[in-house]
Structure 1
């Protein structure tokens, strides 16, 4: 990808973001927040999840 193509792509993305209404931006942002993984997976990786699954299986 050449420099001009990259700049063209960035300007297209910025203009589409600017042209979207504020309500749609808020809805997209809240949907993204709800789809994020939990605290333990985000900060500590897969190890706590594996440990939790192992403990559930043992009980």
Structure 2
């Protein structure tokens, strides 16, 4: 990808973002934050999940 193509792509994305109403941007941002995995999973991968499953009490 040439530099000119990249600049064009970034410019198009920026203009699309700026044309979007402020409320829509805020709604998308909050939806994206809610879809994030837990912080421990993002930082350490699958290890916290496996430890939690290992030490979870079984009835």
CA RMSD of aligned residues (A): 1.3
Provide the C-alpha distance between the structure 2 equivalents of 1:7 and 1:44, rounded to a whole number of angstroms. Answer: 34
In structure 1, the residue matched to 2:5 is 5
TM-score normalized by the length of structure 2 = 0.85
* TM-fit CA distance, 1:46: 1.4
Match runs of 1:1-59 below 5 Å: 1-56=1-56, 59=58
Which protein is richer in helix relative to its size?
1
Q: Structure 2: 5+ residue runs without aligned partners?
A: none
| Count of aligned pairs between the two proteins | 58
Deviation per residue, 1:2-43 (Å, 9 max, x gap): 111111101101100110000000100100110001122122
Q: Structure 1: 5+ residue runs without aligned partners?
A: none
